[in-house]
Structure 1
């Protein structure tokens, strides 16, 4: 018997995943908040000492930069680990401990192999650091790190879903504006990033919705679900693996292959994956009783691979939040373009991986259980779409929020599912006006909360970093 009210609840339950994540986050990363507050206090005391003694500001900037950037990397890893690993843990594809290690390694790999573009953008694409001499550029980036870290600490304690990428972009812009004026700003680069922030959730919504429509129309609603799963799932998963392998091959400096040449190893990996998936689907069908074919069991391994993709994409996109400012701090004699050492990217990725390992276990467990109760097929579509969109944005040097992109995927999946239900002319229960309004407000509340966090973050961090930068420049006598 079909439950008539399920259409009203589906999108609200999926959006509840974000609410559960935000509530669990506060309790899971409370140690990081204390650590962050202590670090910010320590850096403040360092610069107070600088003002009194008149010591070299460059050395202080390097030391303070590493301290704050390290905490920022830990915070990023702890905050976003559930976005990558939660669905796979919830589906039973992997235990939390091995999963944390696996996605941590993927974070480091993504940061090292694919983090250069975003790092360059944050180091040189917001403010022209070349107009600042020596320690001036170092202080600009240190002020940006302190402002972003301070805002993230306060916002996390207040349970606000802020983005690290938005925070660091606003902070760099504010410090650069305070130190060098409007003529030093790259307004075109800032506009490109703002446009990406608006378009990437929409792109994730479209892609996640299309993936769900394919799974549901071709498999879930097929007359013979077993035959449909055997026909559609292997090539779909094989294409996912093949494209990702081809992308990885283009990043390997040893091979230096462009995309057309990289398609060959990608095709080999995709065909091998499709063959393995076909065998797995056949084994599951043989063990299934009657027509009871569970998508959760079919999608366990694909969910795990999507988690690895998501962690790799997260490392590629968010490592620049740590490595970009550090690159300027460590290179006082600015020459464009600044070379990005692989070691710096690896250090940034390691900070994020450690954050997940140290503080992510509790959060992953909570989110994983919540996603399991929803639907592994929807979790797969959202995770895969988010990973692909974040990878595309990162390859173009655009720092985007993986959480905000995932929210777009949640909405895309929910709206496509409702559209398919209407197309099938399924009956809905008549609900009272008050109940319909309450359910509509639940959806609007998520949009308002996330949009407000996006709108507020940039000006707040810009103001904080601008004030911090002016104070430190005055203390350093620059």
Structure 2
């Protein structure tokens, strides 16, 4: 007998999928963890040798900084690639190999074109470089922050804790800056704005993903003629998203130097072209289909676009976690006026892409083929909403967690789906038992609590690790 309340389990199922995906993530990225452990041990031995020989600390900081920053990039790529590519591979829009390459290129493009804003924020927006006694102290401080963040990410990932690289590096920089020059060195306004973004972005993603799901559910999925409705609504929707994305990218290209409203011209052209091509593709699907096509087939190309957009957004946001501290180590300055070289952003994006290509295949396969796969409609809404929110945050120079933003989207589509189901099924046989309602509430609270605790614990722990590393390294180097 079919359970009458089955449709009310959607959010709980999606949350359980996230839990399984987190477990799969640990098993898929174990090689990265082993590499991180070796690098951290090597850096420790490097500074032990420095203490014994008295060699130049600046050269040691540069070498160690490259090692730790490179590992962070690999770890970011390996851990987060499934958020971008999993839904598109699961829908059959692209194979894993070409998908990894495509999203990897999008990561590099995002890093090169838009990663400088977050990099500048991390390099000079958390700790005021002018308060430090000398530039060498800034080098040691940022290296200590990298080591503290890397150590916590390694330990937390091994313990299957869903920590964020962005949260880790911000906390570690703040702790190292406090150890180097005291509380007066910290830019409390910058720290507060970042913390506020961490709170606001998951809710913004939930609202946007819920709005997208409402549109697709009412206008397309539940329409009497689903394909005709898809031809009417999906091309303009995806065209608008592509147009806005291209307009945003046009403002970032140095060769064009476009500003609004002129940047809207290439965006409008790209949006119209994509809408036309998608309309033709849907017409071909209609002519080739022997029966009513499912939403999985209809949304293949939109999911692929969302994956590319998510890769670009991820590169724009997370490349700064690598390039920001590395900028201070390689080009120390006490006035914060140093520009982020494109080569450094490209290197940061390349390490993230390399981590995705080398270590992400297994995780993408598990997420796209196993029980962790989301419904294509919900996956499209979540991926697109996450990409847009992360892009906005990156444009403002705010390092946010793409995973936590995505979980906000999961809650948004889950609650909207349940609300729509209640309206369409008012004659449901019986209300849920009190025990069942309590169980589902506990499931949802546990996920909110996990994310909240991971955020609240990560920042103080990485701040403490960054401070301890900084004090030890300042003592060893004598800077």
Q: TM (normalized to structure 1)?
A: 0.97
How far apart in 1 are the matches of 2:6 and 2:308? 31
- C-alpha displacement of 1:428: 5.9
Contact 1:371 1:379 in 2 (8 A): no
How large is the RMSD of aligned CA atoms in angstroms? 1.5
Q: Is 2:322 the partner of 1:322?
A: yes
Moved more, 444-453 or 400-409: 444-453
Contact 2:61 2:329 in 1 (8 A): yes
Moved more, 325-334 or 34-43: 325-334
CA deviations 1:190-213 (Å, max 9, x no partner) are 000000000000000000000000
Matches within 5 A, 1:378-417: 378-417=378-417
Show the counterpart of 1:242: 243
How far apart in 2 are the matches of 1:156 and 1:379? 25
Matches within 5 A, 1:58-457: 58-132=58-132, 133-289=134-290, 292-370=292-370, 373-426=373-426, 427=428, 430-457=431-458
How far apart in 2 are the matches of 1:300 and 1:268? 22
Moved more, 222-231 or 368-377: 368-377
Q: Is 2:55 the partner of 1:52?
A: no
Contact 2:366 2:372 in 1 (8 A): no
How far apart in 2 are the matches of 1:337 and 1:473? 24
| 2:263 match: secondary structure | helix
Contact 1:247 1:259 in 2 (8 A): no
How far apart in 2 are the matches of 1:428 and 1:321? 52
Contact 1:166 1:457 in 2 (8 A): yes
How far apart in 2 are the matches of 1:67 and 1:415? 43
How far apart in 2 are the matches of 1:303 and 1:23? 24
Contact 2:149 2:168 in 1 (8 A): yes
How far apart in 1 are the matches of 2:80 and 2:429? 36
Q: TM (normalized to structure 2)?
A: 0.97
- C-alpha displacement of 1:424: 2.0
How far apart in 1 are the matches of 2:123 and 2:438? 46
- C-alpha displacement of 1:16: 2.1
How far apart in 2 are the matches of 1:183 and 1:352? 34
- C-alpha displacement of 1:395: 0.4
- C-alpha displacement of 1:257: 0.2
C-alpha change, 1:2 and 1:419, in structure 2 (3 Å) is: farther
How far apart in 1 are the matches of 2:213 and 2:13? 16
Q: Is 2:472 the partner of 1:471?
A: yes
CA deviations 1:257-289 (Å, max 9, x no partner) are 012111111111111111111111222223334
- C-alpha displacement of 1:54: 1.4
Aligned length: 477
How far apart in 2 are the matches of 1:37 and 1:374? 33
- C-alpha displacement of 1:20: 1.8
How far apart in 1 are the matches of 2:373 and 2:254? 42
How far apart in 1 are the matches of 2:56 and 2:178? 23
Contact 1:11 1:414 in 2 (8 A): yes
CA deviations 1:416-460 (Å, max 9, x no partner) are 111111222342654444333222221111111111101100000
Contact 1:100 1:357 in 2 (8 A): yes
Contact 1:91 1:372 in 2 (8 A): no
How far apart in 2 are the matches of 1:50 and 1:337? 30
- C-alpha displacement of 1:91: 0.4
